[in-house]
Chains A and B, each alone.
Chain A
Amino acid sequence: MADTESTPSRPARHLDFSKVVKDLIVTTLIATAVFGSTIAFRTVSAAGGLGLEVRYDIAFYVIAAVVIGRLLLWIFVWSKPPGTSAVEMPVSIKSGLAKVSAKVGKGFGPTMLLFALVFPFLPFTDRYLLDLSILILTYVMLGWGLNIVVGLAGLLDLGYVAFYAIGAYSYALLAQYFGFSFWMCLPLAGILAAFWGIILGFPVLRLRGDYLAIVTLAFGEIIRIVLLNWYQFTGGPDGLSGIPRPSFFGLPFNRSEGGFADFFGLDYSSIHRIMFLYFLILALALLTNFVTNRLRRLPIGRAWEALREDEIACRSLGLNTTSVKLTAFAIGAMFAGFAGSFFATRQGFISPESFTFIESALILAIVVLGGMGSQTGVVIASIAMIGGFEIFREAEQFRMLIFGLAMVIIMIWRPRGLISTRIPSIFLKEKKKVSADMVAQGEGH
Chain B
Amino acid sequence: MEYFLQQLINGITLGSIYGLIAIGYTMVYGIIGMINFAHGDIFMVSSFIALIVITALGLTISTGLGLTILALILVLVTAMVIASVYGWTTERLAYRPLRGSFRLAPLITAIGISIVLQNYIQITQGARVKPLQPIIADGYTLMTRVDANGEFAVQISNMQILIIVVTIILMTIFSLIIAKTSLGRAQRACEQDRKMASLLGINVDRTISMTFVMGAALAAVAGLMFLLYYGVIDFFIGFVAGVKAFTAAVLGGIGSLPGAMLGGLVIGLIETLWSAYFSIEYKDVAAFSMLAIVLIFLPQGLLGKPEVEKV
- Chain B's interface size range is 35 or more
Determine if B55 and A52 form an interchain contact, defined as CB atoms under 8 angstroms apart: yes
Determine if A207 and B299 form an interchain contact, defined as CB atoms under 8 angstroms apart: yes
Q: Does B73 contact A (CB under 8 A)?
A: no
Determine if B281 and A225 form an interchain contact, defined as CB atoms under 8 angstroms apart: yes
Q: Does B3 contact A (CB under 8 A)?
A: no
Q: Contact partner of A37 among B33, B52, B92, B311, CB < 8 A?
A: B52
Determine if A5 and B93 form an interchain contact, defined as CB atoms under 8 angstroms apart: yes
- Chain A's interface size range is 35 or more
What's the Cα separation between A401 and B112 when bound, in Å?
A: 9
What's the Cα separation between A203 and B294 when bound, in Å?
A: 11
Q: Which residues of B contact A60 (CB under 8 A)?
A: none
What's the Cα separation between A215 and B301 when bound, in Å?
A: 13
Interface centre among B81, B96, B288 (most CB of A within 10 A): B288
Annotate A1-38 by CB proximity to B: 1 below 8 A, 0 otherwise. Answer: 11111100000000000000000000000100110011
Q: Which residues of B contact A214 (CB under 8 A)?
A: 35, 246-247, 250, 291
Annotate A210-224 by CB proximity to B: 1 below 8 A, 0 otherwise. Answer: 110111011101100
Q: Which residue of A lies closest to B249 (CB)?
A: A214
Q: Which residues of A contact B104 (CB under 8 A)?
A: 150, 156, 368, 372, 441-442, 444
Q: Contact partner of B299 among A211, A407, A411, A415, CB < 8 A?
A: A211
Q: Does A42 contact B (CB under 8 A)?
A: yes
Within the complex, what minimum Cβ distance (angstroms) separates A384 from chain B?
14
Q: Which residues of B contact A368 (CB under 8 A)?
A: 104-105, 108
Determine if A364 and B108 form an interchain contact, defined as CB atoms under 8 angstroms apart: yes
Determine if B285 and A403 form an interchain contact, defined as CB atoms under 8 angstroms apart: no
Q: Which residues of B contact A52 (CB under 8 A)?
A: 52, 55-56
Q: Does A204 contact B (CB under 8 A)?
A: yes
Within the complex, what minimum Cβ distance (angstroms) separates A209 from chain B?
7
Determine if B116 and A405 form an interchain contact, defined as CB atoms under 8 angstroms apart: yes
Within the complex, what minimum Cβ distance (angstroms) separates B33 from chain A?
8
Determine if A218 and B247 form an interchain contact, defined as CB atoms under 8 angstroms apart: yes
Q: Contact partner of A415 among B92, B93, B101, B309, CB < 8 A?
A: B101
Q: Which residues of B contact A228 (CB under 8 A)?
A: 281
What's the Cα separation between A228 and B45 when bound, in Å?
A: 27
Q: Does A39 contact B (CB under 8 A)?
A: yes
Determine if B108 and A43 form an interchain contact, defined as CB atoms under 8 angstroms apart: no
Q: Which residues of A contact B97 (CB under 8 A)?
A: 4-6, 412
Q: Does B295 contact A (CB under 8 A)?
A: yes
Determine if A30 and B89 form an interchain contact, defined as CB atoms under 8 angstroms apart: yes
Annotate A34-65 by CB proximity to B: 1 below 8 A, 0 otherwise. Answer: 10011101111100011110000000000000
Determine if A407 and B309 form an interchain contact, defined as CB atoms under 8 angstroms apart: no
Q: Which residues of A contact B60 (CB under 8 A)?
A: 49
Determine if B93 and A41 form an interchain contact, defined as CB atoms under 8 angstroms apart: no
What's the Cα separation between A226 and B289 when bound, in Å?
A: 13
Q: Which residues of A contact B132 (CB under 8 A)?
A: 49-50
Q: Which residue of A lies closest to B45 (CB)?
A: A38
- What are 21 A-B contacts defined by CB distance under 8 Å? A4-B97, A6-B97, A38-B52, A41-B55, A43-B48, A43-B55, A45-B131, A52-B52, A203-B292, A211-B299, A214-B250, A361-B115, A365-B111, A397-B123, A400-B119, A404-B114, A404-B116, A405-B116, A407-B111, A415-B101, A441-B102
The 7 A-B pairs with the shortest beta carbon distances in the complex, nearest first, are: A404-B115, A407-B112, A218-B288, A404-B116, A408-B112, A415-B101, A229-B281
Apart from the given pairs A44-B126, A218-B247, A415-B102, 19 other A-B contacts in the complex at a CB distance below 8 Å: A3-B93, A30-B89, A33-B82, A37-B52, A38-B48, A42-B125, A43-B55, A49-B55, A156-B107, A210-B254, A215-B295, A218-B243, A225-B282, A226-B285, A398-B123, A404-B115, A408-B116, A415-B101, A441-B102
- Interface set of A (CB-CB < 8 Å, partner B): 1-6, 30, 33-34, 37-39, 41-45, 49-52, 150, 156, 203-204, 206-211, 213-215, 217-219, 221-222, 225-226, 228-229, 312, 357-358, 361, 364-365, 368-369, 372, 397-398, 400-401, 403-408, 411-412, 415-416, 440-444
